[in-house]
Amino acid sequence: MIKLIASDMDGTLLDENGQVPPETYDLIRALRSKGVHFAASSGRRLDKLCEFFAPVVDEMDFVAANGSQVMASGELIDREVFSHLAIRRLAKTVGMFEHLHLVLFDRTKSFLLDDEDKFVREVDKDLPNAERIWYLPTPDVNILKASIFCDDGHVMDYAYALSRELGDEFVFAPSGNAWVDPMQRGVSKATGIEQVMNRYGLKPDEVMAFGDSMNDYEIIRFVGCGCAMANARPALKAVANRVVGCNRDHAVQAEMRTVLESLG
Protein backbone atom coordinates (compact mmCIF):
# COMPACT_ATOMS: atom_id res chain seq x y z
CA MET A 1 0.00 0.00 0.00
CA ILE A 2 1.32 3.43 -0.97
CA LYS A 3 1.61 5.74 2.05
CA LEU A 4 3.85 8.48 0.62
CA ILE A 5 3.91 10.06 -2.84
CA ALA A 6 6.90 12.21 -3.80
CA SER A 7 6.92 14.27 -6.97
CA ASP A 8 9.41 16.43 -8.81
CA MET A 9 8.03 19.74 -10.05
CA ASP A 10 9.21 20.98 -13.46
CA GLY A 11 8.43 18.60 -16.29
CA THR A 12 6.62 16.37 -13.81
CA LEU A 13 3.93 17.78 -11.50
CA LEU A 14 3.73 21.23 -13.13
CA ASP A 15 1.91 21.73 -16.40
CA GLU A 16 3.48 23.00 -19.62
CA ASN A 17 3.12 26.58 -18.33
CA GLY A 18 5.04 25.85 -15.15
CA GLN A 19 1.92 26.00 -12.96
CA VAL A 20 0.44 23.61 -10.40
CA PRO A 21 -2.77 22.20 -11.94
CA PRO A 22 -5.59 23.34 -9.61
CA GLU A 23 -6.87 19.80 -8.91
CA THR A 24 -3.53 18.98 -7.26
CA TYR A 25 -4.45 20.72 -4.01
CA ASP A 26 -7.69 18.77 -3.56
CA LEU A 27 -5.86 15.52 -4.33
CA ILE A 28 -3.23 16.27 -1.68
CA ARG A 29 -5.95 16.97 0.89
CA ALA A 30 -7.95 13.88 -0.04
CA LEU A 31 -4.91 11.61 0.07
CA ARG A 32 -3.90 13.05 3.44
CA SER A 33 -7.35 12.27 4.82
CA LYS A 34 -6.74 8.63 3.82
CA GLY A 35 -3.33 8.52 5.50
CA VAL A 36 -1.20 9.08 2.38
CA HIS A 37 1.44 11.80 2.66
CA PHE A 38 2.54 13.95 -0.27
CA ALA A 39 6.00 15.49 -0.66
CA ALA A 40 7.25 17.93 -3.26
CA SER A 41 10.74 16.74 -4.26
CA SER A 42 12.55 19.41 -6.25
CA GLY A 43 15.72 21.26 -7.05
CA ARG A 44 13.86 24.44 -6.13
CA ARG A 45 14.43 26.00 -2.72
CA LEU A 46 11.98 25.55 0.11
CA ASP A 47 10.72 29.13 -0.01
CA LYS A 48 9.76 28.81 -3.68
CA LEU A 49 8.05 25.45 -3.13
CA CYS A 50 6.00 26.92 -0.31
CA GLU A 51 4.78 29.62 -2.70
CA PHE A 52 3.65 26.98 -5.22
CA PHE A 53 1.76 25.04 -2.56
CA ALA A 54 0.45 27.92 -0.44
CA PRO A 55 -3.11 26.48 -0.20
CA VAL A 56 -1.84 23.18 1.29
CA VAL A 57 1.58 24.08 2.67
CA ASP A 58 0.63 22.81 6.15
CA GLU A 59 -0.73 19.52 4.80
CA MET A 60 2.34 18.20 2.97
CA ASP A 61 6.09 17.66 3.17
CA PHE A 62 9.06 19.04 1.23
CA VAL A 63 12.39 17.79 -0.09
CA ALA A 64 13.87 20.99 -1.50
CA ALA A 65 17.14 22.09 -3.12
CA ASN A 66 17.88 18.53 -4.28
CA GLY A 67 17.68 17.19 -0.72
CA SER A 68 19.45 20.03 1.08
CA GLN A 69 16.26 21.22 2.80
CA VAL A 70 13.85 18.67 4.24
CA MET A 71 10.58 19.54 5.98
CA ALA A 72 8.16 16.99 7.43
CA SER A 73 5.07 17.62 9.56
CA GLY A 74 5.79 21.34 9.39
CA GLU A 75 9.26 20.93 10.92
CA LEU A 76 12.60 21.51 9.21
CA ILE A 77 14.30 18.20 9.91
CA ASP A 78 17.45 18.70 7.82
CA ARG A 79 19.44 21.46 6.16
CA GLU A 80 22.67 20.63 4.35
CA VAL A 81 25.03 23.44 3.31
CA PHE A 82 28.06 23.46 1.04
CA SER A 83 31.45 23.91 2.66
CA HIS A 84 33.22 27.12 1.69
CA LEU A 85 36.18 25.09 0.46
CA ALA A 86 33.93 23.01 -1.81
CA ILE A 87 32.39 26.19 -3.26
CA ARG A 88 35.85 27.61 -3.97
CA ARG A 89 36.85 24.44 -5.78
CA LEU A 90 33.60 24.38 -7.72
CA ALA A 91 33.95 28.02 -8.81
CA LYS A 92 37.55 27.49 -9.90
CA THR A 93 36.63 24.42 -11.95
CA VAL A 94 33.60 26.05 -13.60
CA GLY A 95 35.92 28.94 -14.50
CA MET A 96 37.94 26.58 -16.69
CA PHE A 97 35.09 26.47 -19.22
CA GLU A 98 34.08 29.67 -21.01
CA HIS A 99 30.54 28.44 -21.70
CA LEU A 100 29.69 27.62 -18.07
CA HIS A 101 28.20 30.10 -15.61
CA LEU A 102 27.75 29.45 -11.88
CA VAL A 103 24.84 30.42 -9.64
CA LEU A 104 24.90 29.96 -5.85
CA PHE A 105 21.77 30.03 -3.69
CA ASP A 106 21.35 30.76 -0.02
CA ARG A 107 17.98 30.74 1.74
CA THR A 108 16.69 33.86 -0.03
CA LYS A 109 19.13 35.03 -2.73
CA SER A 110 20.65 33.88 -6.02
CA PHE A 111 24.31 34.89 -6.38
CA LEU A 112 25.36 35.18 -10.05
CA LEU A 113 29.07 34.76 -10.82
CA ASP A 114 28.50 36.31 -14.28
CA ASP A 115 26.36 39.14 -15.65
CA GLU A 116 22.67 38.26 -15.63
CA ASP A 117 22.41 38.38 -19.43
CA LYS A 118 24.67 35.30 -19.53
CA PHE A 119 21.87 33.24 -18.05
CA VAL A 120 18.86 32.11 -20.08
CA ARG A 121 16.10 31.29 -17.64
CA GLU A 122 14.18 28.11 -18.27
CA VAL A 123 10.86 27.31 -16.67
CA ASP A 124 12.67 25.06 -14.20
CA LYS A 125 15.40 27.51 -13.19
CA ASP A 126 14.15 30.73 -11.71
CA LEU A 127 16.74 33.02 -10.11
CA PRO A 128 14.90 34.70 -7.21
CA ASN A 129 16.42 37.87 -5.79
CA ALA A 130 19.35 37.67 -8.21
CA GLU A 131 22.50 39.51 -7.16
CA ARG A 132 25.56 39.89 -9.37
CA ILE A 133 28.75 39.21 -7.40
CA TRP A 134 32.44 39.37 -8.36
CA TYR A 135 33.77 37.47 -5.35
CA LEU A 136 32.48 34.34 -3.67
CA PRO A 137 30.21 34.80 -0.64
CA THR A 138 32.06 34.77 2.67
CA PRO A 139 32.10 31.56 4.76
CA ASP A 140 29.31 32.84 7.01
CA VAL A 141 26.84 32.69 4.08
CA ASN A 142 25.11 29.30 4.03
CA ILE A 143 25.01 28.07 0.42
CA LEU A 144 22.22 25.50 0.04
CA LYS A 145 22.36 24.91 -3.69
CA ALA A 146 24.45 25.53 -6.79
CA SER A 147 23.54 25.41 -10.48
CA ILE A 148 25.63 25.75 -13.62
CA PHE A 149 24.24 27.21 -16.84
CA CYS A 150 25.66 25.88 -20.13
CA ASP A 151 25.29 28.51 -22.83
CA ASP A 152 26.21 26.30 -25.79
CA GLY A 153 23.82 23.42 -25.16
CA HIS A 154 26.40 20.67 -24.56
CA VAL A 155 25.07 19.76 -21.13
CA MET A 156 26.11 16.10 -21.14
CA ASP A 157 29.68 16.94 -22.22
CA TYR A 158 30.11 19.39 -19.39
CA ALA A 159 28.48 17.10 -16.83
CA TYR A 160 31.07 14.47 -17.77
CA ALA A 161 33.99 16.92 -17.67
CA LEU A 162 32.93 18.31 -14.29
CA SER A 163 32.58 14.79 -12.94
CA ARG A 164 36.14 14.00 -14.02
CA GLU A 165 37.42 17.14 -12.32
CA LEU A 166 35.39 17.09 -9.08
CA GLY A 167 33.66 13.72 -8.94
CA ASP A 168 35.12 12.98 -5.51
CA GLU A 169 33.13 15.88 -4.03
CA PHE A 170 30.04 16.29 -6.23
CA VAL A 171 27.55 14.42 -8.37
CA PHE A 172 26.78 16.48 -11.49
CA ALA A 173 23.22 15.90 -12.70
CA PRO A 174 21.88 17.44 -15.94
CA SER A 175 18.69 19.36 -15.21
CA GLY A 176 16.50 20.78 -17.96
CA ASN A 177 18.06 21.53 -21.34
CA ALA A 178 20.90 23.83 -20.32
CA TRP A 179 21.71 23.33 -16.64
CA VAL A 180 23.85 21.02 -14.52
CA ASP A 181 23.16 20.66 -10.79
CA PRO A 182 26.22 19.95 -8.62
CA MET A 183 24.97 17.89 -5.68
CA GLN A 184 27.07 17.15 -2.62
CA ARG A 185 27.94 13.49 -2.33
CA GLY A 186 25.60 11.86 0.15
CA VAL A 187 22.89 14.49 -0.37
CA SER A 188 20.13 13.92 -2.94
CA LYS A 189 16.38 13.79 -3.28
CA ALA A 190 16.63 10.16 -2.16
CA THR A 191 18.38 11.03 1.11
CA GLY A 192 15.77 13.71 1.68
CA ILE A 193 12.81 11.42 1.09
CA GLU A 194 14.43 8.77 3.30
CA GLN A 195 14.32 11.24 6.18
CA VAL A 196 10.63 11.91 5.52
CA MET A 197 10.04 8.14 5.46
CA ASN A 198 11.85 7.74 8.78
CA ARG A 199 9.65 10.43 10.30
CA TYR A 200 6.56 8.38 9.43
CA GLY A 201 8.06 4.91 9.86
CA LEU A 202 7.69 3.97 6.18
CA LYS A 203 9.52 1.42 4.02
CA PRO A 204 10.60 1.98 0.39
CA ASP A 205 7.85 -0.29 -0.96
CA GLU A 206 5.29 2.09 0.59
CA VAL A 207 6.59 5.04 -1.44
CA MET A 208 5.83 6.18 -5.00
CA ALA A 209 7.97 8.85 -6.69
CA PHE A 210 7.76 10.75 -9.98
CA GLY A 211 10.50 12.51 -11.95
CA ASP A 212 11.80 13.50 -15.37
CA SER A 213 15.45 14.58 -15.05
CA MET A 214 18.72 13.05 -13.92
CA ASN A 215 18.55 14.78 -10.53
CA ASP A 216 15.58 12.43 -9.94
CA TYR A 217 17.68 9.32 -10.64
CA GLU A 218 18.51 8.42 -7.03
CA ILE A 219 14.96 8.78 -5.75
CA ILE A 220 13.47 6.79 -8.66
CA ARG A 221 15.92 3.97 -7.90
CA PHE A 222 15.37 4.15 -4.14
CA VAL A 223 11.59 3.96 -3.73
CA GLY A 224 9.43 0.91 -4.27
CA CYS A 225 7.50 2.44 -7.19
CA GLY A 226 9.70 4.82 -9.17
CA CYS A 227 7.78 6.43 -12.04
CA ALA A 228 9.40 8.29 -14.92
CA MET A 229 7.39 10.69 -17.04
CA ALA A 230 6.91 9.97 -20.74
CA ASN A 231 8.83 13.21 -21.32
CA ALA A 232 11.68 12.08 -19.04
CA ARG A 233 15.30 11.53 -20.06
CA PRO A 234 15.82 8.09 -21.63
CA ALA A 235 18.16 6.85 -18.89
CA LEU A 236 15.58 7.65 -16.22
CA LYS A 237 12.84 5.83 -18.11
CA ALA A 238 15.15 2.83 -18.47
CA VAL A 239 15.58 2.36 -14.70
CA ALA A 240 12.07 3.33 -13.59
CA ASN A 241 9.55 0.74 -12.44
CA ARG A 242 6.94 2.42 -14.62
CA VAL A 243 6.68 5.09 -17.29
CA VAL A 244 3.57 7.25 -16.99
CA GLY A 245 2.18 10.03 -19.19
CA CYS A 246 3.44 13.55 -19.83
CA ASN A 247 3.28 16.48 -17.44
CA ARG A 248 1.22 18.47 -19.96
CA ASP A 249 -1.47 15.80 -19.62
CA HIS A 250 -1.42 15.97 -15.80
CA ALA A 251 -0.16 12.38 -15.56
CA VAL A 252 1.01 12.69 -11.95
CA GLN A 253 -2.40 13.93 -10.89
CA ALA A 254 -4.00 10.99 -12.70
CA GLU A 255 -1.77 8.57 -10.78
CA MET A 256 -2.56 10.33 -7.50
CA ARG A 257 -6.26 9.92 -8.31
CA THR A 258 -5.74 6.22 -9.00
CA VAL A 259 -4.08 5.76 -5.60
CA LEU A 260 -6.93 7.64 -3.95
CA GLU A 261 -9.58 5.51 -5.67
CA SER A 262 -7.79 2.33 -4.61
CA LEU A 263 -8.30 3.35 -0.97
CA GLY A 264 -12.07 3.38 -1.36
pLDDT tens-place string over residues 88-123: 999 999 999 999 999 999 999 999 999 888 887 654
84 burial via Cβ count (<10 Å: 0-12, 13-18, 19+): middle
Written in H, E and C, the secondary structure of the chain is CCCEEEECHHHHHCCCCCCCCCHHHHHHHHHHHCCCEEEEECCCCHHHHHHHCHHHHHHCEEEEHHHCEEEECCEEEEECCCCHHHHHHHHHHHCCCCCEEEEEECCCCEEECCCHHHCCCCCCCCCCCEEECCCCCCCCCCCCEEEEEECCCCHHHHHHHHHHHHCCCEEEEEECCCEEEEEECCCCHHHHHHHHHHHHCCCHHHEEEEECCHHHHHHHHHCCEEEECCCCCHHHHHHCCEECCCHHHCHHHHHHHHHHHHCC
Distance CA 221, CA 227 (A): 9
Distance CA 1, CA 235 (A): 27
pLDDT tens-place string over residues 172-190: 998 878 899 999 999 999 9
Q: What is the pLDDT along the chain (264 residues), one digit of tens a residue?
A: 999 999 999 999 999 999 999 999 999 999 999 999 999 999 999 999 999 999 999 999 999 999 999 999 999 999 999 999 999 999 999 999 999 999 999 999 999 999 888 887 654 467 878 899 999 999 999 999 999 999 998 999 999 999 999 999 999 998 878 899 999 999 999 999 999 999 999 999 999 999 999 999 999 999 999 999 999 999 999 999 999 999 999 999 999 999 999 998
Residue 70: CB atoms within 10 A of its CB come to: 28
